[in-house]
Amino acid sequence: MARKKTTTNTLARRFSVHNGKGFSLADCPTRAAEACGLDKKTGKQLLRERIRHLSQLQALLYANNTWSVLVVLQALDAGGKDGVIKHVMSGINPQGVSVSSFKQPGPVELAHGYLWREHMVAPAAGRIGIFNRSHYEEVLVTRVHPELLEHECLPLSLRRRPTFWKDRYEDISSFERYMARQGTIVLKFFLHLSKEEQRLRFLKRIRHRAKNWKFSPADIHERQYWDDYQNAYEEAIRHTAHPDAPWFVVPADQKWFERLVVIEAIIDALEKLHLKMPAMDPAMEADMEKARRQLEAEAPRPAHNPVH
């Protein structure tokens, strides 16, 4: 039986999680292009076309200056976050997009609540904001390495509460619902990479001099916690997936397919807004007409050449 081809406008929905109840990461593939009836050549062509379409939608978003979009990218090391940003956003007007990369928090960040820096860089109206890693690190890295909580300015009694992680999931969900109610479309992506594909990408970073700069011994160290991270991601998605801020568990072993799924999810969300160019205010139309007549009247007149 021939595989049923997945249309682009339903591609991202295939990997979306709007209700985390009963979610299992083990049920999610890390490769899915073939099952969706797509090959690499076709997928790359579609990606080029969809980048142009996203550019048009972003122009409408910018012009309306009401809605905004937050794209949260989460992945294990070598999952492809930087590549997604580079390729998916390649056609976007730089004035309308911002990228925030959340590194290990410093003293200032640690002295505030863990959602503080996310509030500071949330996208303004009309903009697309990208979080390269995000507030989810506080239920991922700290869940795998709870000793990191000792560096946060938290009372010991709160750190020891039996509901500590549950409380954090609730805080994150409340934060995202608040953003949604303020007109921010929240889209969260877990770039789901297999352990074998990560191994191959790490080897490529080591063997190819041009990619050496990407290598970090810390990445190899964290690889030994693979199962712990899988469990942490599953719990995070299970507790924070909801209609106001869905998760997309994106098969990430094929980079071109990963990028196509991400861009389709963003396009799908923007198309649902049904945005159009803002209507011109009648007073502004009158001012524009007046300006047009004035500018046309200032045009230099042709030189007069008398006939001898």
Q: What is the pLDDT along the chain (308 residues), one digit of tens a residue?
A: 344 455 666 899 999 999 999 999 999 999 999 999 999 999 999 999 999 999 999 999 999 999 999 999 999 999 999 999 999 999 888 999 999 999 889 999 999 999 999 999 999 999 999 999 999 999 999 999 999 999 999 999 999 999 999 999 999 999 999 999 999 999 999 999 999 999 999 999 999 999 999 889 999 999 999 999 999 999 999 999 999 999 999 999 999 999 999 999 999 999 999 999 988 788 888 999 999 999 999 998 877 666 65
**Residue 128 CA: distances (Å) to CA of 57, 213, 222, 250:** 11, 28, 31, 20
Token code pair at residue 122:
């949330």
Nearest alpha carbon to residue 249 among 196, 3, 240, 258: 258
What is the model's pTM? 0.91
Among residues 5, 3, 28, 6, the alpha carbon closest in space to that of 16 is found at 28
Tens of pLDDT, residues 212-267: 998 899 999 999 999 999 999 999 999 999 999 999 999 999 999 999 999 999 99
**Going by C-beta distance under 8 Å and a sequence separation of 6 or more, which residues neighbour residue 236?**
136, 139, 140, 143, 169
Cα dist from 277 to 58, 70, 177, 183, whole Å: 11, 21, 27, 18
Q: What is the pLDDT of residues 111-134, one digit of tens each?
A: 999 999 999 999 999 999 999 999
Q: Which pair of structure tokens corresponds to residue 24?
A: 């299992």
Class of domain 5-281: alpha beta
Q: How many residues are present in the chain? A: 308
Residue 93's identity, in one-letter code, is N
Name the average pLDDT for the chain. 93
